[in-house]
Amino acid sequence: MTGKAEEIVGLLAPTVQALGMELLGAEYVPSGGSALLRLYIDVADRPVNVEDCEVVSREVSAVLDVNDPITTHYTLEVSSPGIDRPLFTLAHFARFVGEQAKVSLRLPQEGRRRLQGGIASAQDGVVTLVGEKGERFAIAIDNIEKARLVPDFVALGLEKAKPGRPAKAKPDAPAKVKPPAKPKPGAPRSNRRATKQSDND
């Protein structure tokens, strides 16, 4: 997440938690004099529904209006994780050890900005991916700009198995361990959208 996204998550996480949900993370995308703020929420014991997104959207909008962390016009979206779930923290990677993930890096590693592989481990600030040919990539969590799970469509029953399909990574041994000017007074500064991605979480 960017610094602005992290700031907003810190501000809004207690509100989302009070609603019985988890704020997984945020994407903040400025564009000219406006911005898109997308929040990803999750519920522990059931899939996220549209009503969840609408409730969170309404409550966090009030917090954003009072604290004013975004000084331009912005569009707020609240979304479920979807089957290609975004991964924001080391704990998120650790939760899905063995699954496939694709990551975009802030700084190139071994000459590459994009990597994909099975999550072998996530500990001590480092995520280890295993590529299709068995190559291993140890990536500092701070160098990951974006990351998502790669859906297993075969396991989901949405696709037939194909020869040569990469196997899941084997886990490592556990460690010890807004327009350019501000809107006129009284004019709304945010648009809200509550969305639910198709998922089977």
CATH 3.10.350.10 fits 3-80, yes or no: no
pLDDT at 166 (0 to 100): 53
- Does the global pTM surpass 0.85? no
pLDDT at 92 (0 to 100): 97
Give the DSSP letter of residue 1.
Answer: -
pLDDT at 23 (0 to 100): 98
Would you write out the chain's pLDDT as a tens digit for each of its 201 residues?
778 999 999 999 999 999 999 999 999 999 888 999 999 999 999 999 999 999 999 999 999 999 999 989 999 999 999 999 999 999 999 999 999 999 999 999 989 999 999 999 999 999 999 999 999 999 999 999 999 999 876 555 555 545 555 545 555 543 333 333 444 444 456 666 666 565 544
Helix (H, G, I), strand (E, B), or coil: what is residue 79?
Answer: strand
Supply the CATH classification number for the domain 83-172. Answer: 2.30.30.180
> Residues with Cβ < 8 Å from 194, sequence gap 6 or more?
50, 53, 54, 56, 57, 77, 78
pLDDT at 159 (0 to 100): 58
Whole-number Å distance between alpha carbons of 75 and 193: 8
Phi-psi region of 118 (alpha: psi -120 to 50; beta: other; left: phi over 0): beta
Q: Structural domain boundaries of the chain?
A: 3-80, 83-172
Helix (H) or strand (E) holding 112: strand 112-123
